[in-house]
């Protein structure tokens, strides 16, 4: 959750972006409006950053890739400049464990290895995960059920965007929302996670 917005360009933030950092988008449009109404959070999409040397080119010495799972597209990797150009001023950059609370427990390389494995295989979007999440937000269902807190190393069903981010972070040794299972995590939960700290809102 962002209390005070600080706008910074992508180039300003590149030097201190690290693999495993998170982007949360405050989307516009019909689908984003439904997500806000059901979850009560402004954040409607989540993605992971990857600053690995794998992406380095002569004309781009500080490459940053964005790994995400999107509806209609599935898992994909795009350059951060491309991602920000699609939603300028609406993508919030969160640093993962900026104060090193998790220490050696957090393996950032493992986080992005998991993310790369999903995006390289073009895994589909988790529509069933979204349907289950909306179903669990219905008042009578919330009254009769409890949120699942069990996490698994592999997903039984394909993840949505926030389940993808949460699952990859857990694979690297850090559970950003320990009281919920991956498939129950929403973008707004990540924004309130103690493992993440708001840095800035990105503009081209």
Domains (range + CATH), the chain:
7-203 (3.90.1720.10)
Strands 7-9 and 196-203 come out as: parallel
Q: Coil, strand or helix: which one is 60?
A: strand
Burial class (CB in 10 A: 0-12, 13-18, 19+), 98: middle
Q: Where are the alpha helices (DSSP H) in 87-125?
A: 108-120
Strands 7-9 and 22-25 come out as: unpaired
Per-residue pLDDT of the chain (204 residues; tens, 9 = 90+): 667 789 999 999 999 999 999 999 999 887 788 788 778 889 999 999 999 866 556 556 578 999 999 998 999 999 999 999 999 999 999 999 999 999 999 999 999 999 999 999 888 888 877 777 776 666 765 566 666 656 655 555 688 999 999 999 999 999 999 888 887 899 999 999 999 999 999 999
- What whole-number distance in Å separates Cα of residue 137 and Cα of residue 152? 22
Q: pTM here?
A: 0.89
- What whole-number distance in Å separates Cα of residue 35 and Cα of residue 27? 9
């Amino acid at each position: 959750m962002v209390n005070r917005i600080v706008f910074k360009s992508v180039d300003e933030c590149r030097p201190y972006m690290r693999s495993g950092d998170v982007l949360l988008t405050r989307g516009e449009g019909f689908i984003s409006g439904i997500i806000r109404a059901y979850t009560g959070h402004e954040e409607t999409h989540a993605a992971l950053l990857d600053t690995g040397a794998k992406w380095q080119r002569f004309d781009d010495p500080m490459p940053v890739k964005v790994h995400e799972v999107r509806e209609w597209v599935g898992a994909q990797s795009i350059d951060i400049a491309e991602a920000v150009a699609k939603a300028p001023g609406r993508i919030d950059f969160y640093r993962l464990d900026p104060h090193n609370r998790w220490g050696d427990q957090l393996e950032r390389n493992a986080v992005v290895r998991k993310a790369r494995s999903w995006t390289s295989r073009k895994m589909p979007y988790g529509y069933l995960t979204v349907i289950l999440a909306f179903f669990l937000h219905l008042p009578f269902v919330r009254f009769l059920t409890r949120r699942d807190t069990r996490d698994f190393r592999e997903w039984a069903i394909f993840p949505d965007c926030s389940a993808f981010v949460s699952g990859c972070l857990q694979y690297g040794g850090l559970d950003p929302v320990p009281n919920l299972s991956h498939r129950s995590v929403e973008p707004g939960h990540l924004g309130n996670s103690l493992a993440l700290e708001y840095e800035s809102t990105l503009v081209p």
